[in-house]
Amino acid sequence: MSDGLVQILDGNTFVVSDDRGDIEASLTDPTGLFSFDTRFLSRWVLTLNGERLTALSVDDLQYFETRFFLVPGTGTVYIDAKLSVIRRRSVDNGFTEELEILNHDEKPVTLVVRLEAASDFADLFEVKDALKKKGRYATRVRSNSLELGYERETYTRSTTITATTRAKVDQDGLTFRIRIPAHGSWSTQLNVTAELPLAVAGRAPRNMQRDLTRWVDAAPSLECDWDSLKTTYHRSLVDLAALRFSPPIAGGHSLPAAGLPWFMTMFGRDSIFTSLQALPFAPELAATTLRALGEWQGNSVDDFRDEDPGRILHEMRYGEMTAFEERPHSPYYGCADATMLYVILLDEYERWTGDRKLVRGLEREARAALAWIDDYADLQGDGYVWYRRRNEKTGLENQCWKDSWDSISYRDGKLPGFPRATCELQGYAYDAKARGARLARLVWKDPELADALEKQAADLKRRFNRDFWVEDDEYFALALDPDGRQVDALTSNNGHLLWSGIVDKSKAKAVVRHLIGPRLFSGWGVRTLAEGDGRYNPIGYHVGTVWPFDNSFIAWGLRRYGFKDEAAQVAAGVLEAADFFQGRLPEAFGGYERSATKYPVQYPTACSPQAWSTGTPLLFLRTMLGLEPQGEHLVIDPALPTKIGRLELLDIPGRWGRIDAFGRGRVEVDGHARRSTTSKRR
């Protein structure tokens, strides 16, 4: 988010205002009160005697609560510093604002306190694309409350504003005429409620403070000699709590939404990646993600939604444009990776938790997901996973995580045609089949399926290492084009290939050399696209920026192939960058060389907090400590960056109960670097 904006959120309800607490939204900027993808308040301006206020400070109490300290007047000279104003705002089904005015003078004061309110009821898609509304507005003035409404046929949304003290209400806001005695104070409470049909919202109120405390307490605790990492860890836990989202269908359980402000909804890919990152810390997120995505699994061939049987959804939306099917997000299925990632998460979840009941319960969904790979994703009939949208108007062109229009290019910058088979999709397909085989043998007791999947996986790996390998420079091509030719840009996708296990051991060293070489590694992290390739741009969304989430999976991949020090190097770069963002990693930052900028440059419109960036430090803790479930045990094999001398993660939940992991940095012993490790079961 841009500087100077203050946000509080709870699940998919959030408020973005300026530092005075005021909201003055235009159609194109994402300020206001939003709930379920709709803006419920686009104007909310406080004045005293007709004058705007000035912010002294903003106190972010919790992710769902903030406090603004204000004085009357604007500009550098305070006209009347004998009054102070405190707005304490917290999010619920809308927001509650406690407004308090303190009179510091020896004389009483008479004031006209005014709150202007309006709503454009914009769909987030309209805000993103600056589109006009099709329905009509209706404002109702009642005694002590104001109702802002919007209607289009049977679609209705409204905002109700009430005050706990007497107010004069008109079409544009609420006015309080008050008198405050000498050294006295006045206060009122304003409730702004986003009214949605119960079927859409349907959530239970909860005690957010207690819920947050419980959430943080349940996670492992971290001890280390690097304060910045402790801050980052705590920030991650709290932001992850904030981003949890309880869709009406999840029965009160929560899963991670993708990110503020554009993506406070269920996303297949983002929810799965975040659940994977958080597995050693909050495994229940994975369980909910698996259940919810399983329930919404595609079931038929629907071109408008790019839906196929077995496919896992890409994105769910609740706004007006989705309601009228002007957008396909009810839900939209156009992504090529989530279905395979679903099987990967299911297996990884079982490895950590031993929860076979869930794996048995989702057998049908997992089998359908595995069948999708062969039955619907192999568009060219050559045994690879391909994508091409069928909804050509509003569907997504690039259905991989790098989903911007220019993300998939040849070295020279040219763009290939469709369909496209990006390399990481083949890696995920390989891993899904290998892990599906394990589940088939172990839990579903279907050795025939297990044999078939293992055979397919081995065959895919063999062909992949032949067809995607760029011989002259020794890395894997980004994709195959429709003619089966290599789309030969050098990208961070190579790291995901290590994570998937599809890379031949003999090729790993060369791949690693590229990942931490100067063209990809900026010093802060691995760039999405290598410097020197045609479309490289250090602030290009998927063509040069560094994505923290991407790097966390790259580090996991490096560990998988035994490159511990390189994994630690990548973790150190991104975690040091986190220090510049007070522990909250943005979606992406610039790919500039570290020595050139000294600090990581945030990508201009990066989404923050964003779930998979929030999950990034958690996955790095796993890779730095080398945590790996093996049977009923947790193997701990630390390799710490030089920055860290001591790292302890206590009470790691899993099938072993709770366990502690300790890592020590390198200590010089007789001229040799040596690490010491211990673990303790509790």
Binding site residues, other proteins, CB under 8 A: 153-156, 197-200, 202, 248-249, 251, 294-296, 299-304, 308-309, 318-319, 322-325, 330-331, 361-362, 364-365, 374-376, 378, 381-383, 388, 390, 459, 463
Q: In the bound complex, what is the minimum distance in angstroms from residue 419's beta carbon to other proteins?
A: 10
DSSP characters over 34-55: EETTEEEESEEEEEETTB-EEE
Q: In the bound complex, what is the minimum distance in angstroms from residue 340's beta carbon to other proteins?
A: 15
Residue number, 364 or 674, with CB nearest to other proteins:
364
The tokens for 433 are 């089949």
The tokens for 628 are 């790996």
- Residue 94's DSSP bridge partners are 92, 193
Residue number, 392 or 668, with CB nearest to other proteins:
392
Residue number, 50 or 381, with CB nearest to other proteins:
381
DSSP characters over 318-350: -SHHHHTTSS--SSB---SSHHHHHHHHHHHHH
Q: Which of 43, 13, 41, 164 has its CA nearest to residue 115?
A: 43
Residue number, 355 or 378, with CB nearest to other proteins:
378
Q: In the bound complex, what is the minimum distance in angstroms from residue 41's beta carbon to other proteins?
A: 20
Q: In the bound complex, what is the minimum distance in angstroms from residue 127's beta carbon to other proteins?
A: 17
Kindly list the distances between the CA atom of residue 377 and the CA atoms of 336, 421, 439, 448, in Å, as whole numbers in the listed order: 8, 10, 22, 23
Q: How far apart are CA 181 and CA 165, in angstroms?
A: 17
Q: In the bound complex, what is the minimum distance in angstroms from residue 271's beta carbon to other proteins?
A: 16
Contact in structure between 98 and 189 (CB atoms under 8 Å):
yes
Contact partners, residue 29, CB within 8 Å, separation at least 6: 127
Contact in structure between 639 and 300 (CB atoms under 8 Å):
no
Residue number, 76 or 154, with CB nearest to other proteins:
154
Q: In the bound complex, what is the minimum distance in angstroms from residue 376's beta carbon to other proteins?
A: 6
The residue type at 105? D
Kindly list the distances between the CA atom of residue 276 and the CA atoms of 290, 397, 552, 639, in Å, as whole numbers in the listed order: 11, 26, 11, 21
- Residue 9's DSSP bridge partners are 14
Q: In the bound complex, what is the minimum distance in angstroms from residue 383's beta carbon to other proteins?
A: 4
The residue type at 673? A
Q: How many CA atoms lie within 13 A of 618 on its CB side?
A: 27
Give the DSSP H or E segment for 365. helix 363-375
Contact partners, residue 577, CB within 8 Å, separation at least 6: 524, 525, 546, 548, 585, 589, 600
Q: In the bound complex, what is the minimum distance in angstroms from residue 395's beta carbon to other proteins?
A: 12
Q: In the bound complex, what is the minimum distance in angstroms from residue 231's beta carbon to other proteins?
A: 38
Residue number, 383 or 645, with CB nearest to other proteins:
383
Residue number, 332 or 592, with CB nearest to other proteins:
332
Kindly list the distances between the CA atom of residue 483 and the CA atoms of 117, 398, 416, 493, in Å, as whole numbers in the listed order: 57, 18, 10, 21
Residue number, 66 or 160, with CB nearest to other proteins:
160
Spatial strand order of the sheet with 185-195 comes to 53-62, 65-72, 83-92, 94-103, 185-195, 155-163, 145-152, 136-142
Q: In the bound complex, what is the minimum distance in angstroms from residue 446's beta carbon to other proteins?
A: 16
Q: In the bound complex, what is the minimum distance in angstroms from residue 651's beta carbon to other proteins?
A: 32
Other CB atoms within 10 Å distance of the CB of residue 128: 13
Residue number, 162 or 330, with CB nearest to other proteins:
330
Contact in structure between 477 and 487 (CB atoms under 8 Å):
yes
Residue number, 304 or 656, with CB nearest to other proteins:
304
Residue number, 356 or 513, with CB nearest to other proteins:
356
